[in-house]
Structure 1
Amino acid sequence: MAINENVAKALEDQINKELYSAYLYLTFADYYEDRGLKGFANWYMIQVQEETDHAKALRRYLLDNDYKPTMEAIAKPDKTFANDLEPLEEGLAHEEYVTSLIHHCYEVAQEAHDIRAMQMLDWFVK
């Protein structure tokens, strides 16, 4: 059974969003490195790895379903910070945004009655 085109496109777009998240969190890690806050920098580097793992999992799912994802350009993060709390606040806001994107992917899969995609996305939702 071929993957639904709408589901594939939503997941393909999500790969880009996950990789952008990794780029964004790298800039947060760099901010904290510059401030000498190595623990915060390390925490964001862990987040970078998590986001790239998400992108790889979505890519693998598409490939396993005979869909070759197209890698799009990743936007350059443009955040600047006035204090040490702002990257954390931005990180929370971004995580809430990415969660909404995962929910959108789930809704697309649900509309397509793609139970396998919904089951795969359950891992992200949980």
Structure 2
Amino acid sequence: MVEKNVVPDIRSYNAKLLGLALEKRSEEGAQLLQCRDKGFVNEGNLDEAKRWYGEIEKSSCALDKWTFETLVLFVCEMGDVEYAFELCKDIFQRRRLVGAALLQPVVDGLVKASMIEEANELVNLRNTNS
């Protein structure tokens, strides 16, 4: 596509993902989705990063710790602490182990936004996570 000056869009990615799924190459499909998500983080595009995270989530791909760390920290930097809080709950729901260094900016952001109840919930999730 690049050689023919065609910019990939959601349709082209969907077609590629479908082809990979039909060939039972789901690991490559998961990597493709994760690369798109991380790419939008690098570009500073919050809306697209969130949209691709949703696509990854819908695909039932196993998200790795690095993807969560990258996205949570980016979302915090962009000031969307509510979404960062939801991501952190997803991390615990998926039973991923994360360190306090990842959660601290989210807790700090929640407190700054006067979302004390949510900050306490996140701290409690961390304390009870085994």
TM-score band, normalised by shorter chain: 0.3 to 0.5
Which structure has the higher relative contact order (CA within 8 Å, separation 6+)? 1
* TM-score, normalisation: structure 2: 0.32
TM-score, structure 1 as length reference: 0.33
